[in-house]
Amino acid sequence: MLNPVAFGLFVGALIFDVVYASNADILWMKAAAWMIAIGLIAAIAPRLINLVRVWRPLGGVGRPGDKAAFWLHLVGIVAAIVNAFVHSRDAYAVVPEGMWLSAATVALFVIGNVLVALQPFAHKEHA
């Protein structure tokens, strides 16, 4: 349930980076930096929960795409951490590296979410 919060913040940061690249108003870069920082806080909690759920599933057998999605999200978080450091620089030093890192973060989260969404649902009947 916490994945959409982080994903939305990272998408918002990407949009703000694109707007900043087009008009060079520092407000957009500062807002993107805040969105990345808050998105990182919101993204780490689900990864810690998934750490247990993916690597020690309740039924003993996990879904095959869960591990790949876990790693994609983890690499996306690392890209967002690097992006947070890039956004801590002077405003004019953020473009284009910050925009590319924002795009990479969003792309990794999208691929991970698509992998999870395309998996068959394992339904257990309770007796």
Share of the chain above pLDDT 90, in %: 61
**Could you tell me if residue 24 is left (phi over 0), alpha (psi between -120 and 50 degrees) or otherwise beta?**
left
| Predicted local confidence at residue 127, as pLDDT | 54
**Domain ranges, ordered by start, for the chain:** 3-117
Q: Which residue has the higher pLDDT, 40 or 66?
A: 40
For 77-107, the pLDDT digits (tens) are 999 999 999 999 888 888 899 999 999 999 9
Identify the band that residue 119 occupies on the pLDDT scale cut at 50, 70 and 90: confident
Report whether pLDDT(7) > 60.
yes
Alpha carbon of 37 to those of 4, 20, 34, 84, 115: distances in Å? 15, 17, 5, 7, 25
Identify the band that residue 75 occupies on the pLDDT scale cut at 50, 70 and 90: very high
This prediction's pTM: 0.87
* Stated length of the chain: 127
